[in-house]
Amino acid sequence: MSFRSAGFRPAVLGSAIALVFALSASVVTAQDAQPKTAAPAAATTAATPASTAPAAAAGAEVAVKPGDATAGQAKAAVCGACHGMDGNSSDAQYPKLAGQSEQYIVRQLTDFKASKRQNPIMLGMATPLSTQDMHDVGAYFASKTPLPGVADQALVEKGETLFRQGDSTRGIPACMACHSIDGRGNPGAMYPQLTSQHAQYIQATLKAWHDGTTWGDDAHAQIMPTIAKKLDADDIAALSSYIEGLHSADTQPAATP
Which of residues 208 and 255 has its CB atom nearest to ligand HEC in the complex?
A: 208
Contact in structure between 231 and 205 (CB atoms under 8 Å): no
Segment near ligand HEC (CB under 6 A), from 14-22, 25-33, 41-49, 102-110? Answer: 102-110
Q: Work out which of 199, 237, 239, 246 binds ligand HEC, going by CB under 6 A.
A: 239
Interatomic CA distance for residues 157 and 252, integer angstroms? 16
Interatomic CA distance for residues 116 and 114, integer angstroms? 5
Interatomic CA distance for residues 148 and 24, integer angstroms? 86
Interatomic CA distance for residues 28 and 197, integer angstroms? 77
End-to-end CA distance of the chain: 124
Segment near ligand HEC (CB under 6 A), from 1-9, 42-50, 57-65, 121-129? Answer: 121-129
Q: Work out which of 205, 210, 244, 246 binds ligand HEC, going by CB under 6 A.
A: 205
Q: What angle do CA 83, 89, 95 make, to 5 degrees?
A: 70
Q: Work out which of 64, 92, 156, 221 binds ligand HEC, going by CB under 6 A.
A: 221
Q: Work out which of 69, 87, 98, 107 binds ligand HEC, going by CB under 6 A.
A: 107
Segment near ligand HEC (CB under 6 A), from 25-33, 37-45, 53-61, 201-209? Answer: 201-209
Q: Work out which of 139, 142, 155, 175 binds ligand HEC, going by CB under 6 A.
A: 175
Q: Work out which of 88, 108, 132, 248 binds ligand HEC, going by CB under 6 A.
A: 108
Q: Work out which of 109, 139, 151, 155 binds ligand HEC, going by CB under 6 A.
A: 109
Is residue 242 a contact residue for ligand HEC (CB under 6 A)?
A: no
Interatomic CA distance for residues 110 and 119, integer angstroms? 12
Give the shortest CB-199-to-ligand HEC separation in angstroms: 10
Contact in structure between 129 and 113 (CB atoms under 8 Å): yes
Interatomic CA distance for residues 146 and 34, integer angstroms? 66
CA distances from 93 to 34, 99, 118, 202, 246 (A): 69, 18, 16, 9, 18
Q: Work out which of 67, 95, 146, 148 binds ligand HEC, going by CB under 6 A.
A: 95
Contact in structure between 225 and 211 (CB atoms under 8 Å): no
**Residues lying near ligand HEC in the complex (CB under 6 A):** 76, 78-79, 81-83, 94-95, 97, 105, 107-109, 117, 119, 121-122, 125, 137, 162, 172-173, 175, 177-179, 191-192, 194, 197, 202, 205-206, 215, 220-221, 223-224, 227, 239
